Every structure is written in C-alpha cells, then in structure tokens.
C-alpha cells in the first residue's frame, strides 16, 4: 500500500487508516459506506491494525517466546477476541463473564488467566470447573476462599499471587495500580507470608508471581523497577521452598494518542523483560490490552450541529460520553479526523467537540484545531479501539452503538445497534403499577 499517509503525526503501524480519493478509508473500505449502511455513531475496527499490533509483540519477543494473554477488558467483542486468538493469543480475564466470552470466541480456559481484586465464590468455581490455566490471587482472604472452593470441587487451583511492588507507573491516577496506596495486589511486605500461606492451604498450588502496575505507561523505567523487585522476590521464594515457575508481568504498554507522543516501543520493553527476568528460567506471560487494540479502532460520528457560542464554536456530534467515556474519565485525547479529506488550503479553526448528553463533562475535545466542518459531515475519533465500546452505557437512553470489523475490502457488523425495544424489554412494571395485572 503506497497510498498517501495520514498526517505523519498519527501513529498507526499498519497504515490501515488513509485518505484515498479524498475519503478516509479503513483498509479498503470507505468509512462513508459503513456510515450509510449502519448509521452513526459506530465503532469500526481494522484487522490489519490488530495484526500489526500483535506482530509488534511477537517480533519483539521472538528469541525468547512468551505467552501473550490478551486482556479482554480493553475490547471484548467476540470477533476482536477471535481475530487475536487466530494470531495465537490466550486471554487475561477479570470476571467469569469475560471467561465465558473468551471461551465463546474460541480461547479455551486452559489458555486463560483470571485476574482481579474481587472474585466471588461462584466466579472461582466457574473458572476451576472450566479448567482455568491460572488464577491470580490478590489478597489473603481470597487465598482462603479459593482453597475452599477448590476443595469443594476436589481440584487444586494453580495460582499466581499478584504482588504490589510499590512503584509509580507515572500514568493517569485512575489507571495506576502498582503503588502501595492502590487497591491491587498483596503488599510487598506481606508477599513471602502470602506464598507461605498459599503453600499450606490444601486447595492451592502456588506456581507463579504476578504484577500489573498500571496502564498507558509511556516509558519502560517503571516496568524495570517492578520487574527487578519481582526477580528478587522469586529468588527469595525459591529459598523459602516455593517452586516458582511462572512470572506474569501484566499489561500496560501505552499507545500514542496524541500526535508526536513518543513512547517506549515493544523492543525496548522486551529488552527490559529479558534483562530483569530472563535468568530465572521461568515461563513468562504478558497481559497486554490497550496496546493490541487501541489504535485498531475508531468511533465514527456525524456532526449534528455547528453551534456558534459567544466565545466558542461547538461541534455537536451524535456520539457522546456514554459511547466513549475516556475524555470525560481520564482527560484523554483522541485525534479527530474529518472523513472527507480537508482541502489543501482549508486551514484550521478552533472548536470544542461535544456530545448531546446533559453533562458538561460530555466533551471530547476543547479548543481543538480542526479543518472547518458542517452539519451532516462525518468525523472519526481515532485510537478508540481500547476502553471504548466496552465502557459504553445507555445513559440518556442512548442505545449501545454497533461495532464493525474490517478486513481488506470486507466488512461486517460484529455487534448490532441496540434497539430501543431491546432496552425497554429489560424493564418491567411492578404489579401495583400495571393495570393489566390481576
């Protein structure tokens, strides 16, 4: 593909998003065609970009193979999971619902790791019955409960203990998870005691250590600090008579949301993993979420109005915070492209890009420089493949939007647009408000 590329600022390794003949395409499909067929808002994902993101990991770790368990919570659409499974992905799940999704998409439980700070009895039982590869335990009470569940089922649970290495991932506060004040993992000071306890419990087989220090990390140094500490712990645990064979290094590699974002790349990350943990002869698992899917997705939206305020110009979209909450929740930046390629001399104007929801927080971008647009134009909020559709809600009775997967010149609706009837059908009147009852 030697098409003219997007502004070189936008970093999409596969080149899947390009203007051709004046119109933004995903691979060989014009976005306007998708909008005409399924309407907007809609999420659109690129298979080629998923593949490029997968290969960035696979290539970086080619000399010392690792297991890559895709963290489903970033984007748990069945077609996205199956695409990644086709490349060789296992899954990292954080609920029994996600485990069911992984299995429904074709990843057996024997290739899944179950993470999360608050698993219930029934979720543990479901995972053990399904034959889960590993459960990552995050607290002393969870050790006790999991052992009891395993005993009741007559099995032994293969576990890793997630430890909190007390390092600052230097990311947004809501997605930092490895500081001592965060709720995740067992405190560093209690790590050896936790393994000793696990070893003494009849239902558990402690085989691994796990960390996950946060998301959207932009450099490797926090990983390096965490993994160095972890390596020291593995040595200590072996001295304590616990046979650690697996290390789960978590996810967290960031993606370039903004033009000119400079991030650590996969090769630098792989070098850190190798240097800090390579000598321990352990089986290594990675749990990337965002970095596999973020750049592969966009949210396609129509401009409802251009509203001229006294001090600001507002671009009012048909997409809103209920469809993509990242800007409201994390002050996240999403590059916004017009689907029609801007004319060469079009220039830029400053706009606040907002949605129709009744919250001031329903703002995608403030004072964004964009080419002029008019009501009815299509725009694409880029890098929305991770923590986009999965975090959507029906706030303001806005039904869930469709998801579309593109591969070459093919495209397919992989989640239909929720209908109002479907939404209303979930609810019911109590008998005392229902004149037709009794």
Ligand X SMILES: *Cc1c(COP(=O)(O)O)cnc(C)c1O
Residues of the shown chain interacting with ligand X in the complex, contacts defined by CB under 6 A: 71, 73-74, 92, 94, 115, 212, 215, 250-252, 287-291
215 vs 383, which CB is nearer to ligand X? 215
87 vs 305, which CB is nearer to ligand X? 87
73 vs 340, which CB is nearer to ligand X? 73
For the bound state, the minimum distance from the C-beta of residue 253 to ligand X, rounded and expressed in Å, comes to 6
Q: By CB neighbour count within 10 A (0-12 exposed, 13-18 middle, 19+ buried), where does 368 fall?
A: middle
What is the DSSP-derived secondary structure letter of residue 322? T
- Cα dihedral angle (213, 331, 11, 86), rounded to 10 degrees? 50
What ranges make up the beta strands (E) of 211-312? 246-248, 283-286, 297-308
Q: By CB neighbour count within 10 A (0-12 exposed, 13-18 middle, 19+ buried), where does 138 fall?
A: buried
For the bound state, the minimum distance from the C-beta of residue 167 to ligand X, rounded and expressed in Å, comes to 15
Q: Are 364 and 355 in contact (CB under 8 A)?
A: yes
For the bound state, the minimum distance from the C-beta of residue 5 to ligand X, rounded and expressed in Å, comes to 26
143 vs 176, which CB is nearer to ligand X? 176
Residues 6+ apart with CB under 8 A from 340: 22, 23, 24, 377, 378
Q: By C-alpha distance, which of 308, 370, 365, 312 is closest to 337?
A: 370
Q: By C-alpha distance, which of 41, 89, 261 is closest to 81?
A: 89
d(Cα 8, Cα 259) in Å, to the nearest integer? 8
Active site residue 358: yes
For the bound state, the minimum distance from the C-beta of residue 417 to ligand X, rounded and expressed in Å, comes to 26
- Strand partners of residue 299: 43, 381
Q: Identify the active-site residue in 69, 112, 282, 358.
A: 358
183 vs 238, which CB is nearer to ligand X? 183
For the bound state, the minimum distance from the C-beta of residue 244 to ligand X, rounded and expressed in Å, comes to 18
d(Cα 18, Cα 164) in Å, to the nearest integer? 42
Residues 6+ apart with CB under 8 A from 10: 17, 259, 335, 337, 382
d(Cα 295, Cα 12) in Å, to the nearest integer? 6
276 vs 291, which CB is nearer to ligand X? 291
**What are the distances in angstroms from CA 388 to CA 143, 160, 319, 327, 392?**
33, 29, 12, 10, 7
For the bound state, the minimum distance from the C-beta of residue 184 to ligand X, rounded and expressed in Å, comes to 8
Q: What is the DSSP string of 344-384?
A: TT---EEEEEE-SSSSTT-EEEEEEEE----TT-EEEE-S-
For the bound state, the minimum distance from the C-beta of residue 171 to ligand X, rounded and expressed in Å, comes to 9
105 vs 176, which CB is nearer to ligand X? 176
**Which positions are catalytic?**
358
């Amino acid at each position: 593909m030697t098409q003219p590329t997007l502004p070189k600022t936008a970093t999409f390794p596969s080149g899947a998003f390009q203007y051709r003949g004046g119109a933004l395409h995903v691979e060989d499909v014009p976005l306007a065609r998708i909008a005409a067929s399924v309407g907007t808002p809609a999420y659109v994902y690129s298979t080629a970009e998923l593949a490029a993101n997968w290969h960035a990991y696979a290539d970086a770790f080619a000399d010392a193979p690792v297991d890559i368990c895709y963290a489903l919570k970033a984007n748990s659409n069945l077609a996205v999971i199956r695409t990644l499974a086709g490349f060789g992905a296992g899954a990292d799940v954080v609920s029994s619902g996600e485990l069911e999704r992984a299995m429904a998409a074709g990843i057996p439980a024997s290739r899944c790791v179950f993470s999360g700070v608050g698993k219930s009895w029934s979720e543990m039982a479901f995972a053990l019955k399904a034959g889960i590869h590993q459960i990552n335990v995050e607290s002393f009470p969870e050790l006790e409960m999991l052992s009891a569940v395993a005993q009741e089922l007559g099995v032994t649970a293969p576990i890793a203990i997630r430890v909190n290495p007390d390092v600052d991932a230097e990311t947004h506060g809501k997605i930092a998870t490895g500081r001592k004040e965060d709720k995740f993992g067992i405190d560093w000071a209690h790590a050896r005691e936790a393994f000793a306890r696990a070893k003494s419990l009849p239902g558990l087989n402690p085989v691994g250590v796990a960390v996950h220090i946060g998301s959207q990390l932009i450099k490797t140094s926090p990983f390096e600090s965490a993994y160095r500490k972890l390596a020291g712990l593995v040595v200590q645990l072996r001295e304590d008579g616990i046979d650690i064979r697996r290390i789960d290094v978590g996810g967290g590699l960031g993606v370039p949301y903004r033009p000119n974002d400079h991030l650590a790349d996969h090769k630098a990350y792989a070098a850190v993993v190798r240097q800090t943990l390579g000598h321990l002869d352990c089986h290594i698992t990675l749990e990337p979420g965002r970095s596999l899917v973020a750049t592969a997705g966009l949210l396609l939206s129509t401009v409802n109005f251009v509203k001229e305020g006294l001090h600001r110009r507002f671009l009012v979209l048909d997409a809103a915070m209920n469809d993509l909450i990242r800007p409201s929740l994390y002050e996240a930046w999403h590059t916004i492209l017009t689907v029609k390629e801007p004319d060469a001399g079009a220039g830029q104007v400053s706009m606040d890009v907002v949605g129709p929801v009744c919250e001031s927080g329903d703002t995608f971008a403030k004072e964004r420089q964009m080419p002029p647009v008019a009501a009815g134009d299509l725009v694409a909020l880029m890098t929305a493949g991770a923590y986009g559709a999965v975090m959507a809600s029906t706030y303001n009775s806005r039904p869930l939007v469709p998801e579309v997967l593109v591969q070459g010149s093919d495209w397919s609706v992989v989640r239909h647009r929720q209908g109002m009837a479907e939404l209303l059908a979930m609810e019911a009147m109590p008998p005392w408000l229902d004149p037709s009852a009794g």
